[in-house]
A and B are shown apart, each in its own frame.
Chain A
Amino acid sequence: MDLLNALVAFLNFVVIPAASYGAQLAVGALGVTLIFGILRFSNFAWGDTMAFGTMAVILLTWLFQSLGISIAPLPTALLALPFAILITSALLLGTDRVVYRFYRKQKAKPIILVIVSAGVMFVMNGLVRIIIGTQEQNFADGGRFLISAGDFKAWTGLAEGLAIKGTTAVTLVTALLTMAALFWFLQKTRTGKSMRAFSDNEDLALLSGINPDRVVQVTWVIAAALAVIAGTLYGLDKSFRPFIYFSLLLPIFAAAVVGGLGSPMGAVAGGFVVAFSEIIVTYAWKKVITYVVPQSWAPDSLMQLLSTDYKFAVSFSILIIVLLFMPNGLFNKGK
Chain B
Amino acid sequence: MKLILSTSNIMSGGPSVIRRHFFEKSNTELTSSLRANFTAHQSSPPTPTTTTSSTSPRPKPPFKSWTKQQDNTLWIPTHSPSPLSEPRESYDITVKLFYLPNVPADTRCLQTREAINLVLKELGTSSIDLLIVSFPGISFDADDEESDLEDPSSAPPSDTDAADADGAPEDIETIATTWHTLEKLHEEGLVSKLGIAEFGCSRLERFLGEVKVKPSVNQINVRDCCVVPKPLILYAKHHKIELLTHNDCTNVLPRGTLRDILGSGEKGAGVLAGEEDDDDDGEKLKGEVMPQWVVKYTAVVKDRGVVESKGYFAVAELKG
Are A and B associated in one complex? no
Q: Which residues of B contact A (CB under 8 A)?
A: none
Residue positions of A touching B, CB distance < 8 A: none
